[in-house]
Structure 1
């Protein structure tokens, strides 16, 4: 049994220190290349912010139409005037949705909203 402590009896599987070191060096090179192609964090953040704003605008438009349609449907059921009020409130909901989208888009751009100078004047009078 002399020398039994030095050998495990398992066949060599290419897991020697030198082989592992070469594989790690190759992996580090691939990682460095991948990190070089990755966009900077500011650009990724800007994309996410733009996507969030686009989804917000789309949601506001859909919500206006859906709420208008629901109110019209409910009033039609209540008064028995089907489909007149639903159609009318669908158009009103679409108009409200468009107004909300325009208002939100202007606020996102940093432009003053219509009538903003009047709001600021009333804020100054309260002081």
Structure 2
């Protein structure tokens, strides 16, 4: 009453399963990590705040060193904000391009390049 399993059918099934698993492993990125939206959001917030804090500290230090009113503080806080936003934009371009690709930006040509 018990049937012996058909070894040829089992071997064919195992080969099909192995081929499907092999294709799934090849399509998934091996070296790139996939970030959640929360991790990306925190990364961008930290980049913006670090730019602001760096500009704040440089401006405050220059105002203290030269004994001026907070003109350098205002200038460097604005520059830190701009640097933080630029860093956020580069991060967004990199994450949008994919884990293994470079962001789609045109190369910057120096004035000294002749070719």
TM above 0.5, one fold? yes
1:70 corresponds to? 57
Q: Which runs of 5+ in 1 are unaligned?
A: 1-45, 119-127
Cα displacement (A) at 1:114: 2.3
Question: Aligned-pair distance for 1:113?
Answer: 3.9
Give the TM-score, by structure 1 length. Answer: 0.51
More helix by share: 1
Give 4+ residue runs of structure 1 displaced > 2 Å after superposition: 111-118
**Does 1 or 2 have the higher relative contact order (CA < 8 Å, sep 6+)?**
2
Q: 1:50: Cα distance to partner?
A: 1.4
1:103 shift after superposition: 0.6
Is the 1:72–1:85 Cα contact (8 Å) retained in structure 2?
A: yes
The structure with the largest alpha-carbon Rg is: 1
1:112 equivalent to 2:109? Answer no
Q: CA RMSD in A?
A: 2.0
Partner of 1:80: 67
